[in-house]
Structure 1
C-alpha cells in the first residue's frame, strides 16, 4: 500500500444506546480506492460520515488524516507532499497528523475537509436550469478559482468525465448517468485528496453504472486521489475498488482483495421460497394510444410517451423495462395521476367503476389517486420525524398510538424488515438509518395507505441482494394476502425476471413488445443487454 492517508483506530458509534460501529480499525492509502460493502444497516453510511467529519462525533476511537500543511497559508496536501513548495505561497509543506474529531483541532479539521469531496447516491445537487459548463463554473467559483482561467479549467474537467458533447446542455435534461458525471466534475473542481462516493450508481442501469465506475477509476489515477466507495452491489466493488471491507452488524467481518470480500458477503444469499401461481383478475388498468409530449429548449418536441397501449390485470405484477430515456418513468407518472397525457386514454377500475385518469377533479382522477401508491426513485422522508411518524401522522393517517404502532410494524415487515428490526427503528429518525433502510421505510409509507395499485419506480436501486430477496418476497406476499396489483419500472433484469408476470419493453417512447416475462427478456437487443444487464442463469 502507498503512504497512509487516513488511519481509523478502534472506532465505535452509538445511537440511542445501540452500538452501530464496533471497534473499527483500518488504513486508506494515498490514491487508493477502498470499497465498503455490507447489507443495509451494516453501518456503511455512518462510517463514511465519520471519516468525512460530518454530523456527530464517534462515541470512541480516532480518525487521523496524514497531511502536509503549509505554515504560511491554509493549504494542505497529502502527507507524501511534505518538503515540497506550497503551490499558493512561498512556504514549504510540513508533515502534520490531524485527529479529525479532537475538539481543539476544529480549525485543522476545517482545512482537511476543504480537501475532501462527496458524491451521494440519489441527490445530484446540480443547478437544474443551468448548463453543464455553468454548473462546473459554479464549483470553481466556490473555491475562489481565478476567473480568467475558469473557462478552460471547466472545459478540462468536463472533458475528463467525457461529457464534452453535453457541455451546453441544460442539467435537468441529462440522463441520470450524465448528471452523476457532472457531479463528479464539480467535485474534481475542488482538487480533493479524498473523495467519498456513497452508493454513487445505485439507481443507474448497469451499463451507465460501468461508465461512472470507469470515471471514478480514472479520477483516482489521474489525481492521486483516495476514494471510499460504499455499496451493497458486489459489481460496484469489483469494478472500482483496490481493496474492500465487509461490514456485518457494525463490525469488520473481512478486509482484503475485493473478490475475496465479495465471496464472503454473498454467503447466506438464499432465494428458495416458492410461491403458488396466482390467478389474475379482470383488467384494472387500460391504456389506449397514450401520448405525452414535452418542449425542450435543446431538443424541441420530445415524445416521451408515443402511442402506448396496454392493459394490467388485477393482482398482476406488470413490469416496464427499457434503456434510460425510453419513457418508463413518464408512463408511470401518467398511471399514478401525476402527469397529464397530451392525448390518448387511460382508465383505472376502482371497485366496479372505471375512472378516466385524463380528467382532473375529485370525481375523476382525484378519486383514483387515493387508491394508487407510487414509490418514486427520488423518494423522500420527513427528516425530523421518526419512522413511526413518517408512516402515520406525517402523511395524514391519524391512528391511536397503539393502533399506529401495530399497523406500522405489520407494514414494515411487508417492506422487508424483520419483526425485531421493525421494533428497533420505529423511534429513529431517517438520518439514523442506512439508505437501504430508508428506501424500505419509503416502500412501507406507500403500502400503509392500503392502495389497490402500487407503482414501484426502480424499487431495488439501493438494496443489497439479500434485502432485495426480502422485498421480492414481500411483494409476492402482498399480492397473495392483500390482492395488490404491482407495476414495476426497473432496469434490474434479475428482479423483473423473478417477480413479473408480464413485461412491456419500451424504446423511444413506444412499447415495442409486451408479453410473458421470459419472452420479452429474450427479445432484448445486444445493446439493451449491455446497458440494462442480462439476467443471470
Structure 2
C-alpha cells in the first residue's frame, strides 16, 4: 500500500450561513486517482479548491500534504523519495508534513502548490491567439524551463496528449476536446505531483471524453502523479479512479471502490449515464441551398451547382460522385473557399464557432480557408527539393530545424508511412519515390498544415490498383490518427465504394441522392460508371 500523499481531517466549509462541506475526512495515497462524484451542488468543486489551496481557508479542519522538501532549493517531491537527492539542485530531500491552511505554513504552502496543477470544465487557461506549441512554451517559460530544451519538451508534451497534428493551430480554433488536451499539456509542463481535474470532460461528447480520460490516466502513470477527479457522470469515475467517494450535501455518503460508490450513486439518484458514441463525430460542415450560376455566351445561364444541401460529420469520409460536368469540382471549390457561390450558405465548424464560407473577410471565409486542405489530382512536389524541404516549405513557419524534422516525420506517419520509412525518405527527392509514395508525401504536404477538412479531387486518377490501395490506406490512417475529415470528389466508383462512409450523387448541378455508400451506388447508371 503506497504511503499517504494527502490526509484530510474533519474538513468543514461555510459560505455565509450555509455549510457546503461537513466533517469530510479521507486519505489519498501517492500516485492514486481519487474520484469524487455527486450531483451538482454537492460540494465537489469547493473540496477541489480547498485541496488545491486557493480561495478562502476552510471553516474548520486540516489538509496535510506528506512530502519531501529539498534543504537547498524550493523543490518538493513525494515523501517516499525522502533521503534521496533533489533532481533540481542535488540537495537532500527531507520528509515534511505541510498543513496547507495553517498560517505558519505559508512558505511551505507555496512550495506545495508549485507541485500541483488544476484543469477546469471550461478551457479558460489558454492564450487564444497563440499556436498550440506556443501555449505549451508559455507554460514552460512560467516554470523557468531551460530555453535551449523547451522546444523539444513542448513537442514531447504535445505528443503525449496526441495533438502533434494540431501543433501549429491557433488555440481559439480548436474544438473543445482539443483545447482541453492543450490545457492538459500545459499542466503537465509543470511536472505536478498532484493534478486536480474538476469536471474535465463535462462539456465534451462521450467519445472525446473517453480519449481525454485515457490521456489523464496515462499521464498519471507515466509521471507517478496523483489525481483528484470530480464528476457527476458515473462513467468518468469508473473509467478513471482507483478509489472514489460520493458527496451528498457536503458530506461523504460512501467511500470505497468506484464500482460500489457508483452503485450507491445510481441507486439513490438514477442519474442518466452518457450515451454511447456515434460512429462519426459532431457535424463539421453544413451546406444549405448552395448555388453557383455562370453566364455563358453559348448556353446562357448555367447552374453549375443548383441549390444543394448536405452535412458532413467529423472523421467522416464523404464522397461526391457524378459524371464530368455534374458540378462536383465546382462544389468542392466552393467548400474550399476558392470560388464564391451565387447563393446559399456553406458553414464550417472552426473550433467552437460556425463560419460561413460564403461571407468574405478574415473572420469568415479567410478564417475557415486556413483549415481546409485541397489535394488536386495534379499535385505538385518540388522535384529538386528533398521530401523534408517539400514538407517544411508547406508549413511556411520559422521554427528550428529540429522541430521541422520532427513535425515532418510525425506527418509522414499520419499519411501511412512506417516510422522507419519516414526517416528513410526524408532526404530523398520525389523522383526517387514510387507513385504511391509520392502521393502519400503530397497528402502529408496537405496534412502538415493541420487542416480540419481535406478535399481530395480525383485522388486516384489513372493509378494502378496497387497504388490505389496505398492511397486508400493512407487516407484511412490519417482519418484514424488525426481525427481528419475527408471529402472525396471522384468518378472512380470502385475507390469510393472501398473508402467512403456516405456519398452524394450529382447530376446537372443537383444532388439527386445522398446516403450510405452502397445505397447511393445502386442508383449510379452504367453511363456514370464509364465516365
Partners of 2:271 and 2:138 lie apart in 1 by 47
Equivalent residue, structure 2, for 1:443: none
How many aligned positions are there?
308
* Corresponding position: 1:147 with 2:152: no
Q: C-alpha offsets along residues 250-304 of structure 1, whole Å, 9 cap, x if unaligned?
A: 11000111111011101234599xxxxxxxxxxxxxx96279xxxxxxxxxxxxx
Partners of 1:19 and 1:511 lie apart in 2 by 58
3-state SS, counterpart of residue 268 of structure 2: coil
3-state SS, counterpart of residue 151 of structure 1: helix
Alpha-carbon deviation of 1:324? 8.6
1:229/1:339 CA distance change after superposition, 3 Å: closer
Equivalent residue, structure 2, for 1:161: 161
Equivalent residue, structure 2, for 1:70: 70
Alpha-carbon deviation of 1:127? 1.5
Alpha-carbon deviation of 1:152? 1.1
Q: C-alpha offsets along residues 319-345 of structure 1, whole Å, 9 cap, x if unaligned?
A: x99659999xx9799xxxx9785659x
1:35/1:270 CA distance change after superposition, 3 Å: closer
Alpha-carbon deviation of 1:170? 2.0
Partners of 1:524 and 1:37 lie apart in 2 by 41
Q: C-alpha offsets along residues 476-511 of structure 1, whole Å, 9 cap, x if unaligned?
A: xxxxxxxxxxxxxxxxxxxxxxxxxxxxxxxx9x99
3-state SS, counterpart of residue 35 of structure 1: strand
Partners of 1:524 and 1:205 lie apart in 2 by 24
Equivalent residue, structure 1, for 2:79: 79
Partners of 2:123 and 2:82 lie apart in 1 by 36
Check the 8 A contact 2:69/2:77 in 1, yes or no: yes
Alpha-carbon deviation of 1:171? 1.7
Equivalent residue, structure 2, for 1:199: 199
Equivalent residue, structure 2, for 1:218: 218
User: TM-score scaled by structure 1?
Assistant: 0.53
Q: Which of the pair has more CA radius of gyration? A: 2
Partners of 2:124 and 2:307 lie apart in 1 by 31
3-state SS, counterpart of residue 266 of structure 1: helix
1:46/1:511 CA distance change after superposition, 3 Å: farther
Partners of 2:92 and 2:153 lie apart in 1 by 26
Q: C-alpha offsets along residues 26-58 of structure 1, whole Å, 9 cap, x if unaligned?
A: 001111000000000000000000000000100
Partners of 1:19 and 1:244 lie apart in 2 by 22
1:250/1:153 CA distance change after superposition, 3 Å: same
Partners of 1:97 and 1:60 lie apart in 2 by 18
Most deviating of 153-162 and 64-73: 153-162
1:308/1:51 CA distance change after superposition, 3 Å: farther
- Within-5 A mapping of 1:234-313: 234-269=234-269, 289=289
Alpha-carbon deviation of 1:165? 2.0
1:108/1:220 CA distance change after superposition, 3 Å: same
Q: C-alpha offsets along residues 173-231 of structure 1, whole Å, 9 cap, x if unaligned?
A: 22221111111111011000000000000111111111100001101100000000000
Partners of 2:48 and 2:230 lie apart in 1 by 8
3-state SS, counterpart of residue 263 of structure 2: helix
User: TM-score scaled by structure 2?
Assistant: 0.53
* Corresponding position: 1:52 with 2:49: no
1:165/1:59 CA distance change after superposition, 3 Å: same
Equivalent residue, structure 2, for 1:5: 5
Partners of 2:201 and 2:241 lie apart in 1 by 14
**Coordinate RMSD, CA, aligned:** 3.3
Alpha-carbon deviation of 1:169? 2.1
Check the 8 A contact 2:348/2:357 in 1, yes or no: no
- Within-5 A mapping of 1:36-435: 36-269=36-269, 289=289, 323=314, 341=356
Partners of 2:43 and 2:22 lie apart in 1 by 10
* Structure 2 residue runs without a partner (length 5+): 273-286, 292-305, 319-334, 336-345, 360-499, 505-514, 518-531
Check the 8 A contact 1:290/1:343 in 2, yes or no: no
Q: C-alpha offsets along residues 356-399 of structure 1, whole Å, 9 cap, x if unaligned?
A: xxxxxxxxxxxxxxxxxxxxxxxxxxxxxxxxxxxxxxxxxxxx
Check the 8 A contact 2:119/2:183 in 1, yes or no: yes
1:199/1:511 CA distance change after superposition, 3 Å: farther
Check the 8 A contact 2:123/2:179 in 1, yes or no: no
1:342/1:215 CA distance change after superposition, 3 Å: closer
3-state SS, counterpart of residue 61 of structure 1: strand
Equivalent residue, structure 2, for 1:279: none
Check the 8 A contact 1:175/1:324 in 2, yes or no: no
Q: C-alpha offsets along residues 402-457 of structure 1, whole Å, 9 cap, x if unaligned?
A: xxxxxxxxxxxxxxxxxxxxxxxxxxxxxxxxxxxxxxxxxxxxxxxxxxxxxxxx
1:308/1:255 CA distance change after superposition, 3 Å: farther
1:153/1:340 CA distance change after superposition, 3 Å: closer
Partners of 2:199 and 2:516 lie apart in 1 by 27
1:53/1:511 CA distance change after superposition, 3 Å: farther
Equivalent residue, structure 2, for 1:21: 21
Alpha-carbon deviation of 1:156? 1.2
Partners of 2:120 and 2:78 lie apart in 1 by 24
* Structure 1 residue runs without a partner (length 5+): 273-286, 292-305, 311-319, 345-507, 513-522, 526-537
Partners of 1:25 and 1:246 lie apart in 2 by 12
